[in-house]
Chains A and B, each alone.
Chain A
Amino acid sequence: MSVPHYPVNEFGPLMKGMVIGIVGIVHVFLAQFAIGGGMLLWYFERLSQRGKEQDARAFVDGFFPILVLVSFVLGALTGVAIWFTTIAVGARTIGLMIDEFHWLWATEWVCFSVEVVAGYAFYKVGHRLAPKVRLRLLALYSIASWLSLFFINGILSWQLTPSSEPSNVWHGFFNASFWPSLLYRTCVAMALAALAACVVINTMKIERERRAALIRRASRFAAPIAIMPLLAGWYLASIPEDSRSWLLGGSAPMMMFVGVAAGASFLIGAYAVVALLIKRLYIGGATATLLLALALGATGAGEFVREGARKPYTVRNVLYSNSITPDEVAGLRATGVTVDDPYPLRDDARYANDQLRRGAKVERALCDACHTMKGGNALVELTRSWTDDQLRLNISKLQHTKALAQLLRWETQGAPATWPVAPTPPEIAGYLDAAGVK
C-alpha cells in the first residue's frame, strides 16, 4: 500500500494547529457574523416596513456597508486562506474531504455565489428598490448564507462523527453531530450579529432614546443564546464517548478551553438575557465591543475544542492527524515511514550522522502535524526530563522509531542515548521482584 508523501513546511515556533487555528477562528467569526447579519437586517427591514421602528431603515442602510466591507472582503478571503492553510497543515485530510464531499462543496459554492450577488446588489442599489424587493433581496441573502453554513457544517462535523456507512455520502453528511452543531452555530451567528448591531447603533447620530429602542430590538435577536447550553449538551452527547471524556476532564488543556468557551458564552448570554432583554438596559458602544471581543474568545475556544476532540484523528477512525490511515500502520512498521519519502531534509548538513537524519525524517512524517521540535508543543521540552530508558520505552519500543529517540536525545543533550542490548532473564526477574510482581 503506497502512502502519499507531501513536502512538509514548518512555521517557525508555531505548531500547525496554531496556524490553522488563527486563520480558521477569524474566518469562522466573520462568516458567522455575515450569516447572522443577513438575518438581522431582514428583521429590521421588516420592522421598518411595518412601521414598528422609525430608525430601522437608517440602521439597515448603515449596517450593510459594514457587513460588505468586513465580511465580504475579509470573510471571503480568509475562506480562500483556509483552503491554502488546510493544504499546508494536512493535505491528505482536505483531499479526503474533497473526494468525499465535492458535490456538496460545489453546492455550497452556489449558495455562496447567490449570497455575494444578493449582498452586493443590496449594497449597490438597495436604497432605490421598492420595499417588497428590498425585503426579498435580504431574505435571499439570508437564506443563501445560512445554506452555505448548512453545507459546510455537514462536511466539518463529519470529521468527528463520520458515518458507519462510508459508502454513502448522505449518511456522512447528516452525521450524528450535524444538527446540534448546525443549530449551535446558527445561535452563535445571531448573537454575533446582535452584538455587532449594538456597536453600530451606538455610532448612529440620533437621540439616545431612539438608539435604545433599536438596541432593544437587536437584543431580541440575541435571545436564542439562552438555548445554547442545551445545544452544547446535545452536541456533547452526539460525539464519541472517548472524545467527550477527553473534553470533560481527560485532557486538562481541552477542559480549560471548554471552560473558556462555556464561560465566555455564559457571560454574553447572561448579559443579553438579564441586562438587555429583562432589565431593558442601555448598552454602550464600548461594552458592546467588549462583548463582541468576548464572543471572539468564545469562538476561538469553541473551535479549538472542536478540533481537539478529534485527536488523534483528523477524520475519526479514517485518518490520523499525521495523515496516516490506521490500515497503513502495520505496513509502515514493517518498512519504515521514511523509505518512500522522496523529499530530502532541508537542513541535512546539520545532523551528525545518518541515524539522526532518519530520525529527523521520522519526526517530519509522524510528529510534525501536532508538534514542533523547539517551538509550540515542542518535542524537546516534552521529553527533556526523560531518561534514555523512557525514550526507549515510549518512543523506540512502542513506535518502532529508534532513530527518532536518538534525535530527541541529541537535540536535548547532544549525545546518543544508550541502552542495555537486551535484559537477561535474571535481570527481568530482578525487575519483576522490584515491582512486587510474583
Chain B
Amino acid sequence: MWPFDRGGVVLALYIGTLALHAVFVAYVLAGSAFALLRRKDPIAATVLDRLPFMLGCGITAGVAPLLFVQLLHQRRFYTANLLLGPRWFAVVPALIVGFYALYLAKASDRWRRIALVVALACFAFVAWSWSELHELMQADPEWAAFYAAGHRLFTAATIAPRFVIVIGAMATLFVTVAAWSTDTAGRSRLAPIAAVGRVASIAGALWLWHTGFSVEGPAVVWFGILVGAAVVDLAAWTLTWKRPSDLALTVATAAGTAALLSAAVVREAPRVALIETHAQADASGAGYAFVIALVLGTAAIAWVVRQLR
C-alpha cells in the first residue's frame, strides 16, 4: 500500500510517532494559549497543571520521528540542519526556556501571565522552525546559493500556510484531548475552539494549494480520507458545542485521529519519491529487539497509567 511500499516499516513508524508527538505538542502550544486567554475558565487550571508533563511527553515522543527521519531523508535532513546552523540550534534553548516558563506559570500566580506569553512565543518559534526546515529539506536547488550567502532564515511562500495549518490543527487536537477530562459544560465551551481550529487548518490548506502545493497520484486517496475525516470532525464538534455527549466526542476523536494520520501521509507525499536507501548491517535481530521493547514498554506505560487512576 502506498506510501509504505516505498518507505516500509520505517515510514510507518515515522508517521505514527510524528502523529503521537503532534498530539502532545498541540496540547502544549494550544493549551498555553488557552491558559493565557481563558484564565478564569475552570478547565484552565487542569490544563496549566498538565502542561509541563505534556511537554515532557512531547519532547520524548519527538525523539522517535527525529530518529526515523534520519533514515528516510538523511542527506536532506542533515543539509537543512547545517544550512540553518545556529539559528536552528536556537530551538533547543527556546524549548528549555519554554519548559521552565511552564513550571513557573504553574507555580506562581504573579508570574503566570508573562510566563505563558514567553512559553507561547518559544513554542510558536519552534513550530515555525520545523515548518521552515521541512521546506528547506526539499529545496535542494537553492542549497548552494543559500549557503554561499550565509543566510540563516529560509523564506518560502509555503511556510506561512503550513504554519497556519499546524496551528489550527493544534487547537483541534488540544480540545480533543482536553475534552475527555471535563464535564459536558466544559466540552461545550471547548468545542468552538476545535471547530475554529479546523476551519483555520482548512483555510491554511487552501492557501498552501494557492502557492502551488498539489496532491497527485496515490496520495489523492489519502487526501480523500483527510477531507472526509475533517468534515466529520467539524460536524461532531459542532454537535458537541450544541449538545455535548460521549458519542459526539467519540466520533470527533475518531475523525480527528483519522485526519491527523492521513494529513501526516499527505504531508509526506511530495517527498516519498525522495526517500533514501542506505547500506545497512543485518539488523533483523535488532528489529526484533525493538518490537519486544515496544510491547513491553507499552505494557509498562499502560500499567503506570492504570496506577494514576
Contact = CB atoms under 8 A, between A and B. Distances in A.
Contact of A83 (B66, B74, B282): B66
A167 B279 CA distance: 10
Contacts of B281: 99-100, 166-169, 172
A6 B85 contact: no
B79 A7 contact: yes
A72 B297 CA distance: 18
B1 interface: no
Given A129-B307, A345-B148, A106 B13 contact: yes
B67 A107 contact: no
B64 A109 contact: yes
Given A84-B88, A114-B297, A342-B144, A6 B304 contact: no
B301 A113 contact: yes
B290 A77 contact: no
Given A81-B92, A88-B81, A106-B64, A76 B56 contact: yes
Contact residues of B: prevailing secondary structure: helix
Interface in B75-89: 75, 78-79, 81-83, 85-86, 88-89
Contacts of B62: 80
B293 A124 contact: no
Contact of B307 (A104, A125, A173): A125
B63 interface: yes
Contacts of B293: 107, 110-111
Interface stretch (B95-103, B205-213, B222-230): B95-103
Contacts of B286: 101, 103-104, 107, 169-170, 173
Contact of B308 (A76, A91, A121): A121
B83 A103 contact: no
Interface string A340-365: 00111110100000000000000000
Nearest to B49: A124
Interface string A75-115: 01111110111011001001100111111111101111110
Given A84-B92, A98-B71, A7 B143 contact: yes
B144 A344 contact: yes
Contacts of B88: 84
A92 to B, nearest CB: 8
A127 B304 CA distance: 15
Contact of B147 (A110, A133, A173, A344): A344
Contact of A140 (B85, B285, B304): B304
A124 B283 contact: no
A54 interface: no
B47 to A, nearest CB: 15
A341 B148 CA distance: 13
B82 A72 contact: no
A366 interface: no
A378 interface: no
Contact residues of A: prevailing secondary structure: helix
A120 B147 contact: no
**Among B95, B148, B297, residue most surrounded by chain A Cβ atoms (within 10 Å):** B297
Nearest to A120: B53
A286 interface: no
Contacts of B82: 6-9, 87-88, 91
B148 A343 contact: yes
B57 interface: yes
A117 interface: yes
A77 B61 contact: no
B59 interface: yes
A74 interface: yes
B182 interface: no
A116 B301 CA distance: 10
Interface residues of B, number: 62
A80 B147 contact: no
A319 interface: no
Contacts of A111: 293, 297
B70 interface: yes
Nearest to A102: B71
Contacts of A124: 53, 308
Interface in B85-136: 85-86, 88-89, 91-92, 95-96, 99-100, 103
B155 to A, nearest CB: 18
A103 B147 contact: no
A52 B103 CA distance: 34
Contacts of A118: 300, 304
Given A168-B282, A170-B286, A80 B307 contact: no
Contacts of B83: 7
Given A99-B280, A107-B286, A110-B290, A88 B59 contact: no
A425 interface: no
A114 B64 contact: no
A342 to B, nearest CB: 5
Contacts of A423: none
Interface of B: 10, 13, 53, 56-57, 59-64, 66-68, 70-71, 74-75, 78-79, 81-83, 85-86, 88-89, 91-92, 95-96, 99-100, 103, 143-144, 147-150, 278-283, 285-287, 289-290, 293-294, 296-297, 300-301, 303-305, 307-308
25 contacts: A7-B143, A72-B56, A76-B59, A77-B92, A84-B81, A87-B78, A91-B78, A99-B71, A100-B281, A103-B290, A106-B64, A107-B289, A110-B290, A110-B297, A112-B63, A114-B300, A114-B301, A117-B300, A137-B304, A140-B300, A166-B281, A167-B282, A169-B285, A346-B147, A346-B150
